[in-house]
Structure 1
Amino acid sequence: MRDNKPLEQEALSCATFKVSKYGYKFSHPNFDKNGGDFFIEEELADGLHKIILCQSKGRNITENNSNLKIHTNYVKDNFLLFLYLKDDNYDNEDTLFFFTREDIQKWEIRNENYYLNIQKNSLDNSIFASNKFNKTNSEKIADILQNINAGKKIEYKTITNLNTLNSLLVLWKTIGSLPDSNLTKLLLEDFDNYPYINIEQFIFLLCITIHNEENLEFQNSIDWAFQYLKFFNDAPPSDYILDFKTQKTTYPSFMVTYNKTYLEYIENEIEKGFKLQMGDIEEYFECYLFQSGEYFLKYARTGNYL
């Protein structure tokens, strides 16, 4: 039996990434509550929230047709279904769709479940074009929230921007998508509130900051990150082969102290990723982060320019 967990995680990461991108707050329930993988929420007074119960599904239609089913008990006014379609012959960056209660109730009903048949050529034929989750269609979320009359107290795991950062990292490793400057700015501004951040997440945050540097203000300089990297100082594996082609190099203009900093977009026949070099004329860090999940960094002192 095929393990669908990676695809379901990919679907969840893609859905929460775009929900956040379009300006909505989300959180995860402590368990799969009434068919929900995550909440979209609007905070009211006295700890009350308006919530939309969201379910995310992933389906691979590279070779075969597929389908999905939703129990009729789940489909209420405050329910949304996000469907992520994966086709290895298609650009998967823009294949997230969503369905409201009204959409789902048009599906076939069998044994108290709504069924949707998904043809393997659905992306080529734009069958779900009207349900594409884009900025325009995302406004339906605001309409649903507005029509929810009463708030309720809920149990959930709070989603900080660190959770968002990790979802974005997963999405980049899966399909190569990078967050825009607005999301990156939010991640930077909330950095002091992160309870913990690992080295992979931290390198990714630095890389996307430089990636979006043209649209970030000068105050988003990441000079402070150099000292932080020293907490993670780790030597690279001795057998790692650094034979990559550089596709592009970005030199951030907002670095002050560590102004010999640059970001390279690198790849070879197997790997794609980033090389981040941060430092000045006396010392530097060299960081590598790959979509496969491999990463490492090394620290060096030098009297020469980088």
Structure 2
Amino acid sequence: MDFNSTNIPINESNFKPKFYVIFIIVLSIYYFFSPILSQIIINIFRNNFNFDELNLLSELFYRLFLPNFSILLILFLYILLIEERKLGFLFIGIKKNFALSNIKGLILSIIFLFLLVFVFIIKDQVIFFKFNSEFSFTTVFQLLLVFIFIYIEIFFLEILYRGWLINILNSRYNIYLSLVLASLLFTLIYFIEYQRLGIYLLYVFIFNIFLSFMFLIYKNIFVVTSFHAFYKFLKQYVLSIEDMEIKLNSIFYTGIDINNAIYNIENSKYSLIIIISLTIVAFMIYNSKNKNN
């Protein structure tokens, strides 16, 4: 299950669709098959279990787990029935040390977030962290639960975009075009979901190319999952610099001063410059590793 120097086809599919066909497949999974499957599962659960919809666990299940689980299940069926190949190629690096992979992802996410926040320190000369006085041990348990579900959600998404999408695109296109097309498709889905434009959307596009290079460099789905999950969790629930999917008390409030919060940090030209710079570095590292191989 090793990548070769220029591409990543592992257990190649005989079905090698063009991008517009893949585009239709992904949209169909997201907005037709997955909602149907999700509704079936919801009906089964509600008929057999007494879930309180206001309960945190049920909210996490219905909002973070179920939609992405349905997408992944439909993807598995598609690969088995249409592409007619086994699923093992999706789980690159699964036999590597799980704890070490996640520690790498955590360290990289902390460094990455530090760079994003550090720009505001340079620009505004000061940064302000206010500890949330309403934070409690109950909140710690809730945050741990949220992180577990975020990790699972991100793992499902990384299987779709890094494990499968880049692989199937690379069966027809070169690796660099495959990364761009995969990121373009993710960005389009993101726009449909959140209707955000401008710098933020461009940041999302470049960020996903960066994640793809990280995947190619480490050849490990868990490093990318860990990085992405910790990055999302830390910025939403620790530093409170982005909207939370599940509303909870964050650990800190981050700002320029007590009256001016740093919010939606990715919608900044400085953050865009950083992610472009890091993506160029990742590109150079990937090329260097290929030459050495």
Q: TM-score, normalised by structure 2?
A: 0.25
Bigger fraction of residues in strand = 1
| Max Rg structure | 1
